[in-house]
Amino acid sequence: MATYTLLLTHSPFNDCRHLLAQRFIEALPAEHSIRQVFLYNEAVMVANACQQPAQGQVNMLDQWLSLADKHSFTVSACIANSLRRGLVDAQERERYELPAVTIDERISLVGLGEIAEAYINGDRVLQF
């Protein structure tokens, strides 16, 4: 049984990497599991609670959270990349005295130590 962490680094709006990662999760045999999906660089844009996809397009945030519920894994976003793009949770909003929370509350802001831990403690880290 293998435990996987997925590292996503690209915007959900520019190519199909997020869809490929989601298909990987759906195709994973039952004896394997996903530990975490880590959003890094432009991939943190998935966590934007204020986005509204164009009519007929997939809401990537909803898709990731639905998969996370179904397969019992966490979705985390790099805090530095998120802050740089204006994506903040309640704690960071207060800390920096910003006007609004812009990240979905079901996604946690974490440091790079989380991905380092996945490399150390997990079986595989796959980058999409």
Active site members: 78
The span from the CA of 24 to the CA of 57, in Å, is 20
Handedness of CA 7, 118, 29, 74 (dihedral sign): negative
Structure tokens at 44: 């943190």
The span from the CA of 123 to the CA of 96, in Å, is 37
Which residue, among 97, 101, 100, has the nearest Cα to 109 in the 3D structure?
101
C-alpha radius of gyration, the chain, whole number: 14
